[in-house]
Amino acid sequence: MDSGKINDTTRREHGVSSPPRLLVELLEGTGVNIDGNDPCDIQVHDAETYRRILTRGSLGFGEAYMDGLWDCQQLDSMLTRLLSTLASVVGGWLINHQSPRRAFRIGERHYDIGNELFEAMLDPTLSYSCGYWAHAGNLEQAQRDKLDMICRKLELRPGERLLDIGCGWGGLARHAAQHYGVEVFGITVSREQLTLGRKRCAGLPVTLELMDYRDLQGQYDKIASVGMFEHVGPKNYTTFFDTVRRLLAHDGLMLLHTIGDTTTSHSSDPWIDKYIFPNSKLPSSQQIAAVIEPDLVIRDWHEFGLDYDRTLMAWWENFNRAWQSLHAVAHDQRFYRMWKYYLHCCAAAFRSGQMQLWQIVLTWRGARPGYRSVRP
């Protein structure tokens, strides 16, 4: 342990006991100490922190932060160090958490907490997915570049029909209709997203509906799903792509924009599952490849996960800047710490390489053999 940690006398004065040996050994080699002087060290205010970590793992660690039991000056950097060397292990793969009956829970628990929060945190396009920072100097430009890159990868042409599975607040639908002259049908499981999205797309050839993807009908020239596949769940990957097969025109293109896990597993972080994205699970490349065979073909696989680190930290800056007005409306200090922990933890996961961001372009086997993707 670092020699700059507070001594035992100071601990007793503040009612904080020395950390358990097991926890000390766990942190060895991570570059993170308890009560040290480094900005990445954990400052423990209450010994209850130790019990929660040892009995509940990452869930207890996150909850202790929400309750103000510990702090860290550079939260994102500390979490990056931990995620680079430690990993959470949790069960829970027996239940189909993303069944049709549960499909709308993510909308109710996360996206319906209030449009005011997301309007304050996100950019003017209301894009709640990774921006593309190759040529961007700010969040709004990164998101507009991302939206345009999707449209170009899909080779959108005036008069085509685009299906947006998981349309959010209509950012992609609006961009595609305005700049590429396509007709868009988008679906979401969030009532709040639907209400605002319809207002933002008024006057455009855009239709947005509250709907589960399994209920979709019709045929589309192009299909996009941006930041939604993380909520589908492994037990439903086959169903999701069977739906794509049923809806995609024979010479069509499908783009999947999703966070990806570098390993195949059936587990999710318990803190994220409980407080941020209930019933969600990141796919691995192996899981995606397995369910698109034998009749769909990958034409392009683009990874730019480090851009999500930058996107998340931009969201944090916006959220933190707007906190006083958000706090006055509906949210308390525990919510503030929860949201801060969420954004910093996710940024650390991308920075440490534990999570990636993929854009995958698919076609029917034999269709568009000369397809060439773009890298703006």
Average pLDDT over residues 27-36: 93
What does pLDDT average to over the chain? 90
Give 20's DSSP letter: P
**d(C-alpha 160, C-alpha 175), whole Å:** 14
Tell me the pTM: 0.89
Confidence check: pLDDT of 92 > 70:
no
Superfamily name with CATH number, domain 100-364: Vaccinia Virus protein VP39 (3.40.50.150)
pLDDT grade, residue 101 (50/70/90)?
low
pLDDT tens for 259-311 read: 999 988 877 889 998 999 888 899 999 999 999 999 999 999 999 999 999 99
* Tens-place pLDDT, residues 129-162: 999 999 999 999 999 999 999 999 999 999 999 9
pLDDT score of 192 more than 80: yes
Query: Is the pLDDT assigned to residue 12 strictly greater than 70?
Result: no
94 has pLDDT over 70? no
Mean pLDDT of 197-225: 98
Is the separation of the CB atoms in 330 and 221 below 8 Å? no
Helices (H), the chain: 8-13, 21-27, 48-66, 75-85, 105-109, 115-121, 139-153, 171-180, 191-200, 237-247, 270-275, 285-292, 306-329, 333-351
* pLDDT for residue 343: 97
d(CA 324, CA 96): 39
**Could you say which of 72, 201, 345, 346 is catalytic?**
346
Tell me which residue of 261, 322, 354 sits closest to 120, measured CA to CA.
322
- Please state, in angstroms and as integers, the Cα–Cα distance from residue 274 to each residue in 60, 136, 228, 281, 363, following that order: 11, 34, 18, 12, 36
Q: CA 49 to CA 65: how far, in whole Å? A: 8
pLDDT of residue 267: 72
The pLDDT score that the predictor gives to residue 100 is 56
Pairwise pLDDT comparison (91 vs 347), residue with the higher score: 347
Contact 160/221 with Cβ under 8 angstroms?
Answer: yes
Q: Could you report the per-residue pLDDT of 33-76, keeping only the tens digit for each?
A: 999 999 999 999 999 999 999 999 899 999 999 999 999 999 99
Q: Are 168 and 128 in contact (CB under 8 A)?
A: yes
Active site residue 346: yes
Every domain of the chain and the residues it spans: 8-85, 100-364
Q: DSSP label at 46? A: -
**How many C-alpha atoms does 235 have within 13 Å on its Cβ side?**
14
